[in-house]
Amino acid sequence: MAKPTYTINQRSLMAELTASDPILKRVAEQTLREAFFEPAVEEMKREFLSHPVTQEVAGGMGAPNVSQTLEAPFRENEAEGDTPANLWGFIGFDSSTTTPDGAIEPVLRRLDPTDTDGPKMVYAGRDKDKLTYRFEIRAPDEAAIYNDTGMPWLPGISWVKRIEQGIPGIGHFLNVSGRPSSRSGGGIQVEGQLRSGRFRPTPYLSRIFNDFLRRVTGRTPNGRR
């Protein structure tokens, strides 16, 4: 008994694929978005909100230094009005105009794909075989975030960026409340050197965004799929 054979007309097949291209592209985009992009976005938001730096800033004046960025022997005398030395007070957020949640809002807002500067999945074309569609994945715009997270006492410098680079002045920071000159309510900068110490830079948005791109492309930490 002869085995059945099938003949495929390549030209006809390619014509059919071309005609159905919008449908195939839409299916491919929806599959990628639901299976990889959207879960990666949600995980990026969770990683940001659970990061010690975010939690410390969002904790306001009384939060402990869970980020362990402030390495110095600070005063610890509640009777004299000493406050926990933390990022809220050290960065000097203005408590009269900014809430702890408001301090992190410029970052959190840009982790959403609906924001102009948020993460994006953009169609980048198809390969010659017309069966492979390419999409470009973009992390949130760091420049836009830096522009909206300026340090109160260092114009033009982003506190978010300086978390990874270092913030000067730890030896002049007096962690005490009740001073009229204190913007944050958690401390002031004084002229004299109070102590030795250092600000310990820590990975922040750069790591969070790299993790996002790794997740959405299905890569492992060493770059392999």
Tens of pLDDT, residues 166-178: 988 776 676 666 5
| Residue range 83-136, pLDDT digits in tens | 778 898 888 887 777 899 999 999 999 999 999 999 999 988 887 666 678 889
In this prediction, what percent of the chain has a pLDDT beyond 90? 44
- b/e code 128-157 from CB counts within 10 Å (16+ = b): eeeeebebebebbbbebbbeebbbeeeeee
Q: What is the pLDDT of residue 148?
A: 94
CB hemisphere CA count around 149 (13 angstroms): 27
**Is the pLDDT reported for residue 203 higher than 90?**
yes
Over residues 43-50, mean pLDDT: 98
Q: pLDDT band for position 23 (50/70/90)?
A: confident
pTM: 0.81
Q: What is the pLDDT of residue 85?
A: 84
Instruction: Name the residue with higher pLDDT: 5 or 16.
Output: 16
Evaluate whether 56 touches 87 at the Cβ level (below 8 Å).
yes
Taken in order 140, 122, 42, 207, the sign of the CA dihedral is negative
Q: What is the pLDDT of residue 26?
A: 82
> Cβ atoms within 10 A of the Cβ of 217, count?
13
Q: What is the pLDDT of residue 154?
A: 77
- Domain borders along the chain are 19-216
Instruction: Name the residue with higher pLDDT: 76 or 40.
Output: 40
Query: Which region among 75-84, 98-107, 200-209 has the lowest average model confidence (pLDDT)?
Result: 75-84
Instruction: Name the residue with higher pLDDT: 57 or 78.
Output: 57
Instruction: Name the residue with higher pLDDT: 110 or 73.
Output: 110
